[in-house]
Amino acid sequence: MTATLQIVHQEEPADAIQEFSLADVLRAREDGVDFRTAASMFAGAVEHFESKGHNLYRRMLLQPSDAEALVDYPREAGERRMIILASNNYLGLASHPKVIDAACRAAVQYGTGAGSSPLLVGTFPTTRKLETKLAQFKGTEDACVFSTGYSANVGVISAVCGKNDVVILDRLAHASMVDGARLSGAPIKVFHHNDVDHLDRVLRRNREANTKLVCVEGIYSMDGDAAPLDQILQVCRKHEALLLVDEAHSTGVLGKGGRGAAAHFGIEGQIDLHVGTLSKSLGACGGFVAGKADLVTYIRYLARSGMFSTAPSPMVTAAAAAALEVIEQEPWRVEKLWENARFMHSELVRMGFTVNEAPSPIIPVIVGCNSKLRQMTLELHRSNICVNSVPFPAVARGSERLRISLTANHTLEQLAEALRCIEQAAINAGLFATKLAA
């Protein structure tokens, strides 16, 4: 006899909905509650969640953020060795000996901090080397680094657009793109997620704008799906719009050699602006923009988040440059990442979970209920599986999820153990009903 699973669609219990949500605090602020009162409300809610053991935020890693690590949680006595399904260190390069060695050598030679903004005296040889390598990796003329990926999007979009322009965002665009668009002062328009026809209509309605900037992601951070970049590019060219692709989750992941979304769709050299991060596949921290030399030079001088921030540490830029070299020298890492993604995705589908349509290193496992999500996340923690939970209002009600992210360093044995625990947690939370079949 074998057990089969059948998903149970159940509404959030009324008392669970009333218990607490970040949306309650945000709504209170909109209704006129002052900051100090809202902060007190939030502190009480955090204390309540901690008393029930549901606040798993701020767990502390005692080892590199890799496939497995020691984790310390203040509410517990002792450390846990956990399988980490919550790291964006996709290629496992944050702990690669060559990357660490490059950072150490840069620290000895140049110190640990840049000490100044990049346009003044905060640029080191490691920065120039990294920018050259990034431009080559993306097939562009030039690149410019930022202190974070967030500041890259904010700085680039607000430098490119102004009040006479228009910023057009995919509905699921990252918060950094939304904030950059707001800071620009340009009108903001939104098109349905990955809907090329709707994008075409939005561009047609805004054809009078001086500069039309379309912003999409190579791989979307919450849903793990890729933008149809080749089709989006055609629509942008039709309307003489610039195309910005946030490659935070596609650099080192998509395309031959992990060169990104443009390489995946065979349109290298045709994207106006690649924005990305050094903190995921490249195992460091920081952000970048890559594109034509004149566009990058303009952004380098006029992006406020770059100009008015201390430049990235020489340790960081040296580490990221070394990571790009490792990606070229060890192409098996990208292949292993996708092997793990296909295995995990197919097994979750076989078990009956609702996941993204196609395999991806980011796999959303839809739970659809905040209370069940909390229960599953806590049980997984106790089973030594570290996974991110994404409740409402971070995602729409009914799409609450576990967000699994994979690395090239995960073994099939680790993933099989994680799958076993996820399945059992779903059953215990009432997400699945068990049936016996002969």
The average confidence (pLDDT) of the chain is: 92
pLDDT band at residue 21 under the 50/70/90 scheme: low
pLDDT the model gives residue 156: 98
Alpha helix ranges (H) inside 87-124:
97-110
Residue pair 183/133 in contact (Cβ under 8 Å)? The answer is: no
| Distance between CA atoms of residues 400 and 372, nearest Å | 9
Beta bridge partners of 217: 246
Residues listed for the chain: 438
Residue 183 has a CB neighbour count (10 Å cut-off) of: 16
pLDDT the model gives residue 50: 78
pLDDT at 2 exceeding the cut of 90: no
pLDDT the model gives residue 26: 81
Q: How does strand 385-390 pair with strand 362-366?
A: unpaired
Residue pair 327/334 in contact (Cβ under 8 Å)? The answer is: yes
Q: What is the DSSP letter of 354?
A: -
Share of the chain above pLDDT 70, in %: 94
Residue pair 263/256 in contact (Cβ under 8 Å)? The answer is: yes
pLDDT the model gives residue 411: 98
- The residue-averaged pLDDT of 355-368 equals 95
| Distance between CA atoms of residues 55 and 58, nearest Å | 9
Q: What angle do CA 383, 415, 63 make, to 5 degrees?
A: 65
End-to-end CA distance of the chain: 5
Residue pair 393/313 in contact (Cβ under 8 Å)? The answer is: no
Residue 18 has a CB neighbour count (10 Å cut-off) of: 10
pLDDT the model gives residue 75: 81
The closest alpha carbon to 314, from 5, 105, 17, belongs to: 105
pLDDT at 78 exceeding the cut of 70: yes
DSSP E strands, 95-185: 142-146, 166-170
399 phi, psi to nearest 5 deg: -120, 20
3-class SS of residue 35: helix
Instruction: Give the tens place of pLDDT for each residue, 121-178.
Output: 999 999 999 999 999 999 999 999 999 999 999 999 999 999 999 999 999 999 999 9
| Distance between CA atoms of residues 206 and 293, nearest Å | 27
pLDDT the model gives residue 228: 97
pLDDT at 3 exceeding the cut of 70: no
pLDDT the model gives residue 392: 85
- The residue-averaged pLDDT of 344-358 equals 96
Alpha-carbon distance values, 359 to 91, 340, 348, 362 (Å)? 16, 9, 10, 8
How many angstroms from the chain centroid is the CA of residue 235? 26
pLDDT the model gives residue 229: 97
Residue pair 249/287 in contact (Cβ under 8 Å)? The answer is: no
Q: Burial letters for 30-50: b for 16+ Cβ neighbours within 10 Å, e otherwise?
A: eeebeeeeeeebbeebeeebe
pLDDT band at residue 20 under the 50/70/90 scheme: low
pLDDT the model gives residue 393: 82
pLDDT the model gives residue 408: 98
Query: Out of 38-42, 92-96, 143-147, 301-305, which region has the weakest mean confidence (pLDDT)?
Result: 38-42
250 phi, psi to nearest 5 deg: -110, -20
pLDDT the model gives residue 4: 44
- The residue-averaged pLDDT of 57-76 equals 90
pLDDT the model gives residue 265: 97
pLDDT band at residue 7 under the 50/70/90 scheme: low
Residue pair 73/60 in contact (Cβ under 8 Å)? The answer is: yes
Could you give the residue numbers annotated as active site?
221, 249, 280
Residue pair 226/248 in contact (Cβ under 8 Å)? The answer is: no
416 CB-near residues (< 8 Å, 6+ apart): none
- The residue-averaged pLDDT of 267-289 equals 97
The closest alpha carbon to 144, from 7, 279, 278, belongs to: 278
Instruction: Give the tens place of pLDDT for each residue, 377-407.
Output: 999 999 999 999 998 888 888 999 999 999 9
90 phi, psi to nearest 5 deg: -55, -40
pLDDT the model gives residue 27: 85
| Distance between CA atoms of residues 390 and 400, nearest Å | 6
